[in-house]
Amino acid sequence: MLRNVALFSVLALLIMALPSFAQSNIDAKKLFNEGNAMLKGGDFEGAIGKYDAALKIEKHEYYYYQRGLAQKKARKMDAALASFHSAVQTNPKWAVGYVALAGAHFGQGDYEKAIQDYENALKENPTLGPAKKGLAAAQTAQAQSVLGQGQANEAIELSQKAIANDGKYDKAYLILAQAYNKNGAYDNAIKAAQNAIKYTKGSKGAAYFEMGLAYRNQGNTSKAKESFSSAKKDPAYARSADYELKMLK
């Protein structure tokens, strides 16, 4: 989600058809295409060199963008972030550029900047799916971060915003359940955990565990045991859930 790999790979195929690229310098375009071939072949340093050469001839957002992708592949994350930033500086209305910049910020753990970049992308293209999903992921990551700092109310607000952007995002519901449990809003925690269980495709242990905590704190022992028993099936929560079950006996 957060890297939007599919979007990035498709973009290079579409660039030649875009009017702004059709008017690009022929020599720069040739270097750009050579860079794309190297990138596809796994020669990331060679690709970076070709994009650098193209940029010496012409400053174009697509050249910065593709260089950023090559730099990410080469694990030069600071350089990639700078390239994506140059892309949106060159064309401040290019939504895809903001998505790439957001992904780079997200990868560095700067969720606030990622949120801002995704919001900028949606200002330019409100229907851009990867931007909405990316925004939900960044909001959820920020919610998890502030919850770890004891800011449950802010975590609730961020999780709710994430769900508004992606109504099937299981992790947003899980963080929301955790935040409600912290605040003592156990009915809301149970509902959020139920949605996390509904939309989680993988392990559901974390959601069942949060549901168990909410039922336990409400004094509903039978429901708490049922939830913790389900959580116990997840190896990551087996010990914690077993402890809770023993405490309920």
Angle at 72 between CA 70 and CA 76, to 5 degrees: 105
Of the candidates 148, 195, 149, 201, the residue with the CA atom closest to the CA atom of residue 174: 195
Determine the residue type at 59.
K
Q: What is the pLDDT of residue 48?
A: 97
Which portions of the chain are predicted below pLDDT 50? 1-17
Q: What is the pLDDT of residue 25?
A: 82
Q: What is the pLDDT of residue 76?
A: 96
Instruction: Give CA–CA dist 66/148, Å, rounded.
Output: 36
CB contact burial 227-237 (16+ within 10 A = b; e otherwise): bbebbbebeeb
Which residue segments constitute the domains of the chain, with CATH numbers given?
5-136 (1.25.40.10), 168-248 (1.25.40.10)
Instruction: Give CA–CA dist 139/125, Å, rounded.
Output: 19
Please state the separation of Cα 6 from the chain's center in Å: 14
Task: Show the tokens assigned to 31.
Answer: 């270097």
